[in-house]
Amino acid sequence: MNRRRTILLACAALAATTLSAAFLQGAAGPNAALAVAATYGAGAFVMAWITSRATEYPRWAWFGSAGVFALALVVAALAWPAPSQVKDWSTMAWMFPWLHLTTALSSPPAKGACSPGGAWSGPLILGTSIVFSSILLVAAWLTR
């Protein structure tokens, strides 16, 4: 898949994910938490799939990070299901698929810890998703 096509598909997927989640949040009212979480979680997996061929990072870590994002969103939906709380954590959830988009399409260093071929590249990607997920969960907890 060429780079331009990947960028277009990934941007379309990010827009569709974000707009779908916003629509679900507004239409489903107080019962929207799990639907919004599922939409953003699915968006993270779709983005990982679209960008997986554009990156040299290990596939296990790439899709594992999408799993971490989806799990964090389910935790947020179960912990903070009230409409005002969903609004708090869902305003940051678009960054989960976005992280795969920007990481896959940026130019990684050829050497070093952040290099896709480095020994730490898989744990680094997985660790980054844990940090991003923790930021969402802590911010949602602080605003409750």
What is the tens place of the pLDDT at every residue in 71-91? 999 999 999 998 888 888 888
Kindly state the average pLDDT of the residues 42-57: 93
**Range name among 25-29, 106-110, 124-128 with the lowest pLDDT average:** 106-110
Structurally, how many domains does the chain consist of? 1
Q: pLDDT tier at 118 (50, 70, 90 boundaries)?
A: confident
pLDDT surpassing 70 at residue 1: no
Give residue 109's pLDDT. Answer: 67
Q: What percent of the chain has pLDDT over 70?
A: 98
pTM, full prediction? 0.89
Q: Where in the sequence is the domain holding 85, given as residue range(s)? A: 3-142
Write out the chain in H/E/C secondary structure.
Answer: CCHHHHHHHHHHHHHHHHHHHHHHHHHHHHHCHHHHHHHHHHHHHHHHHHHHHHCCCCHHHHHHHHHHHHHHHHHHHHHCCCHHHHHHHHHHHCHHHHHHHHHHHCCCCCCCCCCCCCCCHHHHHHHHHHHHHHHHHHHHHHCC
pLDDT surpassing 80 at residue 123: yes
